[in-house]
Structure 1
Amino acid sequence: MNVVDKIVLQGEKEDEGKRIDVFLAAELDYTRSYIKKLIVDELVFVNGKTVKPSYKVKENDEVVVNIPEAEKIDVLPENIPLDILYEDDDIIVINKPQGMVVHPAPGNYSGTLVNALLYHCKNLSGINGILRPGIVHRLDKDTSGVMVVAKNDKAHISLSNQIKERSVFKKYVAIVEGVIKDEEGKIEAPIGRHPVDRKKMAVIEDGRYALTLYKVLERFKENTLIEAVIKTGRTHQIRVHMAYIGHPVVGDPVYGFKKQKFKLEGQALHSSILGFVHPTKGVYMEFEAPLPEYFVRLIEILRRSTY
Structure 2
Amino acid sequence: MKKSESHIVPELSAPIRLQEYGVGIFQATLTKSALKKVLKKNYITVNNIMATSATFINGGELIELSISEEIKPKRKLVFPLKVLFEDNYLAVIHKPAGILVSGNSFKTIAHALGQNIKESNLPDAVYPQPIHRLDYATTGILLVGKTSNSIRALNGMFENKEVQKIYYAVAIGEMNSSGEFTSEIDGKESQSNFALCESVLSQRFGKLNLVELEPQTGRRHQLRKHLSSIGNPILGDKEYGVENLILNGKGLYLHAYSIKFIHPFTKEEVYIKDELPERFKKIFYLTQHGLKS
* 2:168 alignment partner in structure 1: 173
Contact 1:75 1:104 survives alignment (8 Å): no
Tell me the distance in 2 between the aligned counterparts of 1:109 and 1:116.
Answer: 10
Residue deviations 1:257-293, cap 9 Å, x none?
2234644442210000111121310122111000012
The answer to whether the 8 Å contact 1:187/1:212 transfers is yes
Q: What does the per-residue CA deviation read over 1:94-127, in whole Å, with 9 as the maximum and x for residues that have no partner?
A: 111111221241xx212x21232111235489x9
Q: Does 1:185 align with 2:185?
A: no
Q: How far has the Cα of 1:77 moved from its partner?
A: 4.9
| 1:2-81 paired onto structure 2 within 5 Å | 4-5=28-29, 7-8=31-32, 77-81=76-80
- Structure 1 residues 73 and 166, CA gap change in structure 2 (3 angstroms): farther
TM-score when scaled to structure 2? 0.67
Counterpart CA distance in 2 for 1:224 and 1:154 is 41
| In 2: Cα distance, 1:122 partner to 1:73 partner | 27
- Partner SS state of residue 151, structure 1: strand
1:74·1:109 contact (CA, 8 Å) conserved in 2? no
1:1-307 mapped onto 2 (5 Å cutoff): 4-5=28-29, 7-8=31-32, 77-105=76-104, 108-110=105-107, 112-121=108-117, 123=119, 133-180=128-175, 182-192=176-186, 207-221=187-201, 222-260=207-245, 262-299=247-284
Structure 2 CA distance for partners of 1:240 and 1:73, relative to 1, 3 Å: farther
The amino acid that maps onto 2:79 is I
Report % sequence identity: 27
Secondary structure (helix, strand or coil) at the match of 1:160 reads: helix
Q: Give 3-state SS (helix, strand or coil) of 1:93's partner.
A: strand
Q: Give me the whole-angstrom Cα distance separating, in 1, the residues matched to 2:72 and 2:219.
A: 28
Task: Verify the 8 A CA contact 2:185 2:219 in the aligned structure 1.
Answer: yes
Unaligned runs of 5+ in 2: 4-26, 43-52, 55-66, 202-206, 286-293
- Counterpart of 1:219, as a letter, is S
In 1, distance between residues paired with 2:74 and 2:139? 23
**Structure 1 unmatched runs, 5+:** 10-37, 50-67, 193-206, 301-307
Tell me the distance in 2 between the aligned counterparts of 1:138 and 1:251.
19
Larger Rg: 2
For residues 169 and 251 of structure 1, what CA distance do their matches in structure 2 show?
25
Q: TM-score, normalised by structure 1?
A: 0.65
Determine if contact 2:169/2:212 at 8 Å carries over to the other structure. yes
Instruction: Determine the C-alpha separation between the residues in 1 that align with 2:41 and 2:102.
Output: 25
Q: Distance in 1 between matches of 2:75 and 2:217?
A: 33
The answer (yes or no) to whether the contact 1:179–1:219 under 8 Å persists in 2 is: no
Aligned residues: 228
Report the structure, 1 or 2, having the larger strand content: 2
CA distance in 2, matches of 1:74, 1:231: 44
Cα distance in structure 2, aligned partners of 1:261 and 1:113: 27
Q: Deviations over 1:170-209 (max 9, x none)?
A: 11000111110x21100011101xxxxxxxxxxxxxx101
**3-state SS of paired residue (1:100):** coil
How far apart, CA to CA, are the structure 2 residues paired with 1:226 and 1:252? Answer: 15
